[in-house]
Amino acid sequence: MPLIAPSLLSADFLNLQSDITMLNESQADWFHLDVMDGRFVPNISFGLPVIEHIRKATTKICDVHLMILEPGNYAEAFKKAGADVLTVHLEACPHLHRNLQQIKALGMKAGVALNPHTPVHLLSDIIHEIDLVCLMSVNPGFGGQQFIPHTLEKIRTLKKMITEKQLHTLIEIDGGVTLQNAPSLVAAGADVLVAGNTVFRAQDPTATIAALKAC
C-alpha cells in the first residue's frame, strides 16, 4: 500500500485552509510541497512563509521538494519552517554528499530528486545516504503534465539497486500520477505517489486519495 502525498501546488490557494482540512481528514499520508525558484525550473511557486502556515495546520509529514539552485543555503530555514523530508535535485547539487549530510544533521529525512533525463545509476555511490529518491515523471516546473512512460523502467532499475544493497530507501514518483497508472507504478516498486491535479481536480478528492491508497 503506497504512501499518498498530494501536491499542494494544485490546491486552491484562495481556500487553502479548506484543502488542508480535507487532506487532514483523508487517507493522505504526506503533504507534498513544491518550491520553485524560477532559475532551476522555469516557474516560481511558494516558499517559506506558506510552508510555515501549512505546518501549523497539519500534523502530517511535510515533504518539501526543492526545485531550486544552491539548496544548501536554505536547508536550515526550511527545517525551521517545518519540513520533515527535504528533497534536493541531483542536477542542482555538485556536492550532493555534503547536502545530504547537512539535511540529516538538521534532523530531516534527506531526499534526492532526478529529472527525467537523469539515469538512476548516478546514485549508486550515494544511495546508502538517501532516505527517499524522487523520480520526476514529468519535466519539473509545472503541474498537469503527461506522465513519461520510461519512468516505469527507471523505477524497476532503482528498486533493484535498493534491494541488492539491502536498503530501505523509498521511491517517490512525482508527475502525471493518475488512478489509471498508479497500480503499474506500485507494481514496479514505487513507495510514495505524489498527485496534484488527480486529487485536487477530482469531483471527490477524498475518495480519489482512498483509491490511490488502495493501489
HEC profile for the chain? CCEEEEEHHHCCHHHHHHHHHHHHHCCCCEEEEEEEECCCCCCECCCHHHHHHHHHHCCCEEEEEEECCCHHHCHHHHHHHCCCEEEEEHHHCCCHHHHHHHHHHCCCEEEEEECCCCCHHHHCCCHHHCCEEEEECCCCCCCCCCCCCCHHHHHHHHHHHHHHCCCCCEEEEECCCCCCCHHHHHHHCCCEEEECHHHHCCCCHHHHHHHHHCC
Amino acid at 104: K
Q: Is 63 a catalytic residue?
A: no
Domain count, the chain: 1
Residue 152 or 145, more confident = 152
The mean pLDDT value for 94-114 works out to 98
CATH of the domain at 83: 3.20.20.70
The mean pLDDT value for 183-192 works out to 98
Q: What is the pLDDT of residue 18?
A: 97
pLDDT over 90 (residue 2): yes
Q: What is the pLDDT of residue 21?
A: 98
The mean pLDDT value for 80-92 works out to 98
pLDDT over 80 (residue 141): no
Which position among 19, 29, 37, 174 bears the catalytic label?
174
Give 121's pLDDT tier (boundaries 50, 70, 90).
very high
Q: Kindly report whether the global pTM for this prediction surpasses the value 0.85.
A: yes
For residue 191, what are the CA distances in angstroms to 98, 135, 215? 26, 11, 11
Which position among 34, 37, 131, 191 bears the catalytic label?
34
pLDDT over 90 (residue 45): yes
Please state, in angstroms and rounded to a whole number, the distance separating the CA atoms of residues 156 and 123. 14
Q: What is the pLDDT of residue 129?
A: 98
Q: What percent of the chain has pLDDT over 70?
A: 99
Q: What is the pLDDT of residue 144?
A: 66
pLDDT over 70 (residue 142): no
What is the domain range of residue 117?
Answer: 3-213
Q: What is the pLDDT of residue 143?
A: 66
Binding residues for substrate, by number, are 7, 65, 141-144, 174-176
Q: How confident is the prediction for the chain on average, in pLDDT?
A: 96
Q: Is 204 a catalytic residue?
A: no
The mean pLDDT value for 186-214 works out to 97
pLDDT over 90 (residue 145): no
